[in-house]
Chains A and B, each alone.
Chain A
């Protein structure tokens, strides 16, 4: 970036270092270093009177992996994130297909309706659900209007899943829609002309091509659901914890930072393992498609 008029060899060689240097230093200092410190912290022990001890022990990991409370929270996190992923596939994939079949201007209008909520804070949308699902909320009001008993929805796992599906739906629609955009519509039309039923055409033509989009969408949805904070925090109440609300409690209420760091590291490792496994799967899919 110096005003070298002739592209001499030496300045060119240093150029990438010079250009990416600030960002690299920034990311080493504020991503790698804090992560390393957190890993160290997870091996420190904690004393309720003396605070964080500068020692090395596996005690936190043993506690977290043996205690009923933590295990049940991990299990809930995994279960609800999986359920959310399955539901967003079941809802988001048909919706993306319907969107891609729409004509102008409806297609862009409804795409905005589906992905526009991404611009509204998660807290606001979750707060909306807490009003809808509350004891005197609209859902129970509708049930009462048709003569049904009110149900407890807020502070249940059902409420968390409803909130998660709402927040995650755009992340499923976007990749599937992108893939469907690239799909040649005449192939599906050809299948129909050749006498395939609508269902067969979907199953044999559209679905295989959309598979990559569905895979990458599921990955994002699962990862974001498993570490989501606001939704279990506001819709799960004090009793139903998920991994993120558990870490929050350990850090800011119990003040047992090493234990909180342990849970956070487990969340991180689980995330990375699932991402890598998924990437392998996607690569295999892509290879098979290319023959």
Chain B
């Protein structure tokens, strides 16, 4: 391992500033007392945060996003755990095809998925339905849950399961008492990644939400492209705070590098 020289550290500092600058600016502007997007040079104010909590559209979108992410992450986990068991524990024809199909939302641009869902739902007469919005999000987050469950299944020590079987435990008991508890870190990590990805998804959702099901990122996008007032900065600051808390929790529980960097 080499030491970083002064040039390297200078370069590194610039990158850190570059990565943090937009978020720092957003957080500062949120505290402005002015009516425009100005830095709070002349004192701080919480008026724009107050405005957010009285803004019905933002509040209902936030509720939509939370409900959506909870449901999508849960459904995706319920689909991914048995699918991962099938893929790792069984030899069958088409296994690689299935694996590729389940991971395909990572390869198909969300833009294309958004268009495709819009077409499907319009033919079904289901545009703007919250239930179907949940289904679309369950699809796009399944690669994340599947990958983490697959990773913990392949690295799992099978001896405990075999011991339980030898001692006469039924398959279901083995799963419930041995496999599932050992999988739990992978499952919860995958669920959280799925939740975050659903909560932040914009490009696909913008095609399939209706005025009553608009999610927070879609609402923020619309708001940022139409009107420019500091309320957008206040909403952004709240989501940055939420992301920071999530990041700390994730880092304590799993190690963020392990979770985001993953093992393939």
**Interfacial residues, chain A to chain B (CB-CB below 8 A):** 1-5, 7, 12, 15-20, 22-24, 26-28, 30-35, 37-38, 41, 91, 94-95, 98-102, 108, 110-132, 134, 136, 138, 166, 169-170, 174, 177-178, 185, 188-189, 192, 198, 223, 226-230, 233-234, 243-244, 247-248, 251-252, 257, 260-261, 264-265, 267-268, 271-272, 275
Contact = CB atoms under 8 A, between A and B. Distances in A.
A251 B23 contact: no
Given A19-B86, A117-B23, A227 B29 contact: no
Given A23-B142, A128-B21, A234 B221 contact: yes
Contacts of B86: 15-17, 19-20
Nearest to B171: A4
Interface in B101-134: 101-102, 104-105, 107-113, 115-120, 123
B20 interface: yes
A132 B19 CA distance: 13
B239 interface: yes
B261 A177 contact: yes
Contacts of B66: none
Contacts of A264: 111-112, 115-116
B261 A132 contact: no
Contacts of A37: 116, 119-120, 123
Given A23-B102, A129-B22, A268-B108, A123 B217 contact: yes
18 contacts: A3-B171, A17-B86, A19-B85, A20-B86, A20-B87, A37-B116, A95-B12, A98-B12, A99-B12, A115-B256, A115-B260, A121-B200, A124-B220, A128-B22, A128-B24, A132-B22, A166-B19, A252-B207
B23 A125 contact: yes
B23 A128 contact: yes
Contacts of B111: 227, 229, 243-244, 247-248, 264, 267
B16 interface: yes
> Which of A20, A33, A228 has its CB near the most chain B CB atoms (within 10 A)?
A20
B151 interface: no
Nearest to B85: A19
Given A31-B104, A251-B207, A261-B119, A128 B26 contact: yes
A117 B19 contact: yes
A228 B202 CA distance: 10
A120 B239 contact: yes
Interface in B1-42: 1-4, 8-9, 11-12, 15-16, 18-26, 29, 37-39
A223 to B, nearest CB: 7
Contacts of A12: 90
Nearest to B81: A19
Interface in B242-264: 243-244, 246-247, 251, 256-257, 260-261
Interface string B61-97: 0000000000000000001101101110010100100
Contacts of B196: 119
A98 B170 CA distance: 52
B47 to A, nearest CB: 18
B247 A119 contact: yes
B102 A251 contact: no
A268 B82 contact: no
Contacts of A136: 38
B172 A1 contact: yes
B224 A234 contact: yes
B200 A122 contact: yes
B23 A233 contact: no
Contacts of B4: 98, 101-102
Nearest to B169: A5
A91 B8 CA distance: 12
A233 to B, nearest CB: 6
A264 B116 CA distance: 9
Contacts of B141: none
B204 to A, nearest CB: 9
A112 B251 contact: yes
A123 B220 contact: yes
Contacts of A134: 37
A244 B23 contact: no
Given A111-B257, A121-B220, 17 more contacts: A23-B102, A26-B139, A38-B115, A95-B11, A98-B9, A115-B256, A115-B261, A122-B200, A123-B221, A128-B25, A128-B236, A223-B109, A227-B112, A229-B206, A243-B111, A264-B116, A271-B109
Contacts of B104: 27, 31
A226 B243 CA distance: 26
A41 B118 CA distance: 12
Contacts of A30: 117, 120, 135-136, 139
B18 to A, nearest CB: 7
Contact of A119 (B107, B109, B168, B246): B246
Interface string B147-184: 00000000000000000000010111001000000000
